[in-house]
Chains A and B, each alone.
Chain A
Amino acid sequence: MLNPDLVGRTFTSAESVTVTEQAIRKFAEVIGETNFDVAPPTFTISITLDQSQSLLQDSGLDWTRVVHGEQKFVLNRAIVPGDVFICSSTIESARNVAGNEIVTVRSDLHADTQLVVSTWSTLVVRA
């Protein structure tokens, strides 16, 4: 059970992440994309995954029962090589539906003050 006091908890990375063409290429090649000038639409997850998981690490969630329920991306522009991002993740909600706990974490990538991508990960903790 997620500690309800943790809803609203935010973690902002101290260090920025620089997007390399190599990282885009590596991700793109898996899905057969040959345009390496812009990142594929779900590339953001390779930047945000670690942080969104560490945000929940000591939250009381039973990780052995966690499954990925849903994912959403809103892109204000595509990610390109050379982008430098600060990533912040927030536990946006935690609710109980029919005994399953549903937790949503939002992660934002900012380049300076510009919000470039937001992504929402919904995790389901099976009863």
Chain B
Amino acid sequence: MTKIVEGLEISEETYVINRALLVKYANASGDQNPIHQDEAFAKSVGLPDVIAHGMLTMALAGKFLSDISGPENVLEFSAKFIKPVVVPANTDVSLIISGKVGEISDGRAKIELLAMCNEVKVLGVAKGVIKLQ
């Protein structure tokens, strides 16, 4: 693996989100809110369509972080949910995550993450702290 140094840009990964994945995430996480599965319900509460769980988007960004350090070395992880990821029926939506290494001290590195969907930033100030090996 590339050595983690301050300023290192970590190349983007694409994660596919579709309705089937939302059902799988709902079952794995216990979050069965119908706005993530039921199109008629989502529209009835003013959403454009079914939207992904913010925590699914964050879990995928967490996978990106885990791939840098190993999941056992993630010490902190936080994000704001600034835009919904809309998931129309029969559509694969691409979530593109990239990262940059921030400050390194005491064997820990800050990682800034960028999560984009249809050229819109969906997570705000997404960042993690990893333990360096």
Residues of A within 8 A of B (CB): 23, 26-27, 29-33, 35, 38-42, 45-46, 49-50, 64, 67-75, 77-78, 120
A70 and B55 alpha carbons, distance in the complex (Å): 9
A-B CB pair tally, cutoff 8 Å: 92
Least CB distance from B126 to A in Å reads: 10
Taking CB atoms, residues of chain A closer than 8 Å to B59 are 27, 30-31, 40, 42
Q: How large is the interface on B (under 10, 10 to 19, 20 to 34, 35 or more residues)?
A: 20 to 34
* B72 engages A38 (CB within 8 Å): yes
* A64 engages B45 (CB within 8 Å): yes
Taking CB atoms, residues of chain B closer than 8 Å to A46 are 28-30
Least CB distance from B66 to A in Å reads: 6
* B29 engages A49 (CB within 8 Å): yes
* B30 engages A50 (CB within 8 Å): yes
Least CB distance from A119 to B in Å reads: 9
Ordered by A's residue number, 17 sampled pairs between the chains whose C-beta atoms are within 8 Å are A33-B66, A40-B59, A42-B55, A42-B59, A42-B62, A42-B77, A49-B30, A49-B31, A50-B30, A68-B81, A70-B78, A70-B80, A70-B81, A71-B58, A71-B81, A72-B78, A78-B72
Taking CB atoms, residues of chain B closer than 8 Å to A68 are 54-55, 81
A31 and B81 alpha carbons, distance in the complex (Å): 18
